[in-house]
Amino acid sequence: MMHTLADSETPFLAAIPTGARDLNEFRFKLADALQSSLDLHEVLANFFQTMRGVIRCSGMEYRLPTKTLHLALGTRRAHSAHYTLRRGDLAVGEMTFFRGSKFSDQELGSLEALLALLMLPLRNALLYRDALESSMRDSLTGVGNRTALEVTLQRELKLSLRHRRPMSLLIADVDNFKQMNDRLGHAMGDRLLLLAVSLIKGALRETDQVFRYGGDEFVVVLGNTGGEEAAAVAERIRRAAADCVLPEGTGAAGITLSIGVGTSTPEDSRDSLFKRADEALYKAKSAGRNQVVRQD
């Protein structure tokens, strides 16, 4: 079921089934939740959590194809309602809601009413994200820099605790990079780093995020991902690098990656999770490099 919703449309909020709740109280609660943050993920997570208090829904997915944005919350089910959202001339994304049974016309009216309240906070979050991105990109590789990593880590840990699902970190290091950089020169070293990023990104899923932590070290944040699945992603990255044939003239025999894997627990902080993944990387390099080590 597909719909287009523009900010000029004002569905009747009376369509929202309130039961014992006061309608105005619910509207204020939702508006307050949506305005509490400019972070896109938090805005959408707050919307999903509050919306489920009114409409039975198992999952929600948000996409903005022009910026390759994708966020999935909850669980997919057989029935869905899909909306393309616009605010003026600006496309602000596509939203899909899932559940096991078909949405009624009244429930669809309620969804549209709630989405009308989401329009402005969503637009503001997108504009804020665009402004931040320009200062959070690594100038060489184009992936997120260390500042962006810290913001993402804090956000993903919050989401992990809120939804009681693990997240995982991969820390990848280009093996023997310093020696190659010294022997081949910085220009060729930069080319190898760009190749490493390309290999890592090519092996990731749509929702995974990669950051340059410093030098030849990269961190991948895997939201909603347990240890076994994270290790499988890491092995896919390692294998892609090991199988890569370097172009002639690079002067290097090949490129390999050592990768440490750490998965969150409810007791983890940013530091404890990062330390565990970093220790796993150290073990991978100490054991001969070109391998994945998982440390729970």
Query: Got the DSSP string for 60-125?
Result: EEEEEGGGTEEEEEE---SEEEEEEEEETTEEEEEEEEEESSPPPHHHHHHHHHHHHHHHHHHHHH
DSSP state of 226: -
Distance CA 234, CA 211 (A): 15
Q: Is 153 helix (H, G, I), strand (E, B) or coil?
A: helix
Q: Is 219 helix (H, G, I), strand (E, B) or coil?
A: strand
Distance CA 94, CA 36 (A): 22
Distance CA 33, CA 28 (A): 8
Q: Which of 173, 171, 133, 163 is nearest to 151 (CA)?
A: 133
Distance CA 244, CA 175 (A): 14
Q: For residue 194, report the phi and psi dihedrals to the nearest 5 degrees.
A: -65, -40
β pairing state of 168-174 and 217-222: antiparallel
32 catalytic per annotation:
no
Length of the chain equals 296
Which is the catalytic residue, given 39, 216, 268, 278? 216
Which residues belong to the active site? Answer: 216
